[in-house]
Chain A
Amino acid sequence: DAGVTQSPTHLIKTRGQQVTLRCSPKSGHDTVSWYQQALGQGPQFIFQYYEEEERQRGNFPDRFSGHQFPNYSSELNVNALLLGDSALYLCASSLGRTGWLRRQYFGPGTRLTVT
């Protein structure tokens, strides 16, 4: 049973560029949440997708956008990258509208470095 997978593992981008991060949820899961974890900090919620719709958004600018596909995989897009966007981006999956309250399964994350 495949767990949550994320790609790429690492990437380096230049300020002003755009980046797309990808997440495949655990088999059978239909809800995906994205978090940003700066170095030495706890994760911060970016947004959650369920049934291809954004259910809730954290305190992040519009430069951060996302999408969920019919197969429940998800993408996180960040435009006009800033140095402060350097972080570990975590994807978490769960089942159903309230499954995330019981347990979320996290992926290994994508380490984004902006230079």
Chain B
Amino acid sequence: AQTVTQSQPEMSVQEAETVTLSCTYDTSESDYYLFWYKQPPSRQMILVIRQEAYKQQNATENRFSVNFQKAAKSFSLKISDSQLGDAAMYFCAYASSGQGAQKLVFGQGTRLTINP
């Protein structure tokens, strides 16, 4: 079974600075998808960024980018120019593209605090 590990329960960063959240995963599959979701205090999970494993190019979405290392099974999220609104729980998630697999497997989450 696939597992996702986020080794940083909490992280903090000064406003306008850059922070990197770590995620590793375990799988024997070659084709899959990886996601970062944000969960603010309102509880509603919001997709931040998505990476397809067959694509070597790292995904970027404005201030958010990933460092996808397939061989190392690592998928870190970099947030540039941190803003107060970035404060939230961040979850890394894995999805298999195989038949019969319709679930996201989430990590334990990293709580990100932005210091003004």
Contacts and interface: CB of A to CB of B under 8 A. Distances in A.
B37 to A, nearest CB: 8
Contact of B47 (A43, A104, A108): A104
Interface string B1-25: 0001000000000000000000000
Given A108-B44, A109-B43, A45 B50 contact: no
B105 interface: yes
Interface size on A, as a range, is 20 to 34
A100 B104 CA distance: 9
Interface stretch (B69-77, B79-87, B106-114): B106-114
B91 interface: yes
B59 interface: no
Interface in A19-75: 33, 35, 40-45, 48, 50, 55-56, 58
Contacts of A35: 104
Interface residues of B, number: 24
B100 interface: yes
Contacts of B105: 45
Nearest to B45: A106
Contact of A103 (B42, B43, B50, B100): B50
A73 to B, nearest CB: 18
A16 B92 CA distance: 34
Interface of A: 33, 35, 40-45, 48, 50, 55-56, 58, 88, 90, 92, 100-104, 106-109
Given A58-B103, A108-B43, 16 more contacts: A35-B104, A40-B108, A40-B109, A42-B4, A42-B91, A43-B91, A45-B105, A48-B102, A56-B100, A92-B45, A100-B104, A102-B50, A103-B50, A106-B46, A108-B42, A109-B44
30 contacts: A33-B103, A40-B108, A40-B109, A41-B108, A41-B109, A42-B91, A42-B106, A42-B108, A42-B109, A43-B45, A43-B91, A43-B104, A45-B103, A45-B105, A48-B102, A50-B102, A55-B102, A56-B100, A56-B101, A56-B103, A58-B103, A90-B45, A100-B95, A100-B104, A103-B47, A103-B50, A104-B104, A106-B37, A106-B45, A108-B43
